[in-house]
Amino acid sequence: MNQYQAIIIGFGKAGKTLAATLAKTGWRVAIIEQSNTMYGGTCINIGCIPTKTMVHDAELQHDFAAAMQRKASVVSFLRDKNFHNLADLENVDVIEGRAEFVDNHTVRVMQSTDAIELSGEKIFINTGAQSTIPDVEGLTTTPGVFDSTGLLNLTQRPERLGILGGGYIGVEFASMFANFGSKVTIYEAAPQFLPREDRDIADAIANILCDKGVEIILNARVQAVSSEDGEVRLQMPEGAHTVDALLVASGRKPATENLQLQNAGVDVNDRGAIIVNKYLRTSADNIWAMGDVTGGLQFTYISLDDFRIVRDNLLGEGLRHTGDRQNVPYSVFMTPPLSRVGMTEEQARASGAAMQVVTLPVAAIPRARVMDDTRGVLKAVVDSETKQILGVSLLCVDSHEMINIIKTVMDAGLPYTTLRDQIFTHPSMSESLNDLFSLVK
C-alpha cells in the first residue's frame, strides 16, 4: 500500500493549492480526482471560468458556436496548466478515480479496471458540490433537460430556453442566453424573485431581464416534464409550456454521497455537508474538509480561504479560523452584474441599527455613459452613529471590481467618508463611490 503524509480528495481550489504548498515543504502528497476532465476543480471546468467566458462573449454578441469554441479553449488551457502544476512536482502523485474511505487513514480509489488503496497520515476532503434535482416527474429522463454543466456543452443555441429556478445561477444563464438571442423563461416556485435581495434591487434586476425579453413566472408549479416533437414540455396547473431546452438551476448540494464517510468516523448533517469546527477539522482528528463540501458559501474564494486556514493549522501558528472572515462579497455575472457585501437594507432595519440608506442611479455616472450602459443602481446602508458602512449593493457595469474596494474599507473599520473623499481615477466606475457616499447626510 502506498504511504502518504497527505491525501487530498478533490482537485478544487483549496485541494490543489494545499497539495502544492505541502509538496513544496517536503510532504509526500497524493491528490485524487475522479475525472481527468475536472483537473483544476469546478471553477475552471464547469463553473466560474466557462460561464464568465460565455457571459463576456454574449455581451459582445459573438456567435454562439464561436463562443463555445473559445470557452472550450480557455478551459482546456487552464485544466492542462492546473494538472501540470501538480503532476510535475516530484513528490505529488495525481491519481484518477473515485475515492472512498476504508477507515480514517485508508482511502480506496476505484479505477476503470481495478482498485488501489492509499494510506495517509492526514486526509483532506475537497469534493465540492453537485446539482440538486427537484422531484418532478420526467425531469431526469427527458431529452433536452440539462444542468448547468450540460448546457455549457451545447453546440447549438436553443431558440427557447426554460430555466427551472430563479436564483443566482438561473439569473446568470437567463441574462447570458438572452444576450445570445434566445427567448428565455424563468420558472420560479417561490412567490418572490431573489428573496435575499432588497425589493428595489430585485425589481431592478427583474426589469433589466424583462427588457432583454426574459419572462419571469413566479409561483411556478411544474408538475411534470416530457418530450414532444423534439421539444421539452412543462406541465403546469394552468396548462403546458414548451421550450427547446430546459436548464435545471435549483441549487447545489455537498458531494459526499459516495465517500463512505461513516467508515472514517466523519459526521455529516442532514444535507450531507461535512460537519467541521472553526479550523475545518472533522469529527475524525486527522481529517479536514474544505470548500463547498462543508455546506457553507459556495465560492472559489471561500475555498481558497479554507486553504489558508488549514495551512496555518498545519504549518503556521494555528490561529486562523473561519470566524476571522469578514464581509464576504459576492457577484452575480448577469449583464450588468450585481455585487453585494454586508447587510441589505432589510437586514439592517431588523438589526435595530440607526441608519441611513442612499441610492445613486447608474445613469448619473459619467463612465457608465462612456461605456454605453446606464442600467442599474448603487445602494449603500450606513450606520448614522458610527459612520460605518453596513452594506452595499451595486447593480452596474464593473460592480464585481468595485465591490472589493468597499469590502476592504469595511474590513478595516474605516468610516464611509473614506470612500466619499477618496481620490479615484476619472472617468471610472469606482469614482461613483464619491458621489454615492456624498449623499449620506
The question of whether 426 is a catalytic residue gets the answer yes
Amino acid found at 254: P
pLDDT averaged over every residue in the chain: 97
Q: What angle do CA 193, 53, 425 make, to 5 degrees?
A: 85
Share of the chain above pLDDT 70, in %: 100
Q: Where are the domains of the chain?
A: 2-130+252-324, 145-248, 330-438
Q: Summarize pLDDT for 298-357 with one digit per residue, the tens.
A: 999 999 999 999 999 999 999 999 999 999 999 999 999 999 999 999 999 999 999 999
Q: Summarize pLDDT for 56-82 with one digit per residue, the tens.
A: 999 998 899 999 999 999 999 999 999
* pLDDT value, residue 92: 98
CATH architecture of 330-438: 2-Layer Sandwich (3.30)
Which residue among 62, 84, 241, 426 is the active-site one? Answer: 426
Q: Summarize pLDDT for 365-399 with one digit per residue, the tens.
A: 999 999 999 999 999 999 999 999 999 999 999 99
What pTM value is reported for the model?
0.95
Q: How far is CA 361 from the centre of its chain?
A: 27
Q: Summarize pLDDT for 200-243 with one digit per residue, the tens.
A: 999 999 999 999 999 999 999 999 999 989 999 999 999 999 99
How far apart, in whole angstroms, are the C-alpha atoms of residue 249 and residue 218?
15
Q: Does the domain spanning 145-248 belong to CATH 3.50.50.60?
A: yes
The residue written with cell numbers 453596513 in the block is: 390
* pLDDT value, residue 62: 84
How do beta strands 355-361 and 377-383 pair? antiparallel
55: helix, strand or coil: helix
Average pLDDT over residues 180-190: 98
Average pLDDT over residues 42-50: 95
Q: Does the domain spanning 2-130+252-324 belong to CATH 3.40.50.2000?
A: no
* pLDDT value, residue 61: 84
- What single string gives the DSSP state of each residue in 175-223? HHHHHHT-EEEEE--SSSSSTTS-HHHHHHHHHHHHHTT-EEESS----
How far apart, in whole angstroms, are the C-alpha atoms of residue 286 and residue 306?
16
Same fold flag, 2-130+252-324 and 145-248: yes
Average pLDDT over residues 275-285: 98
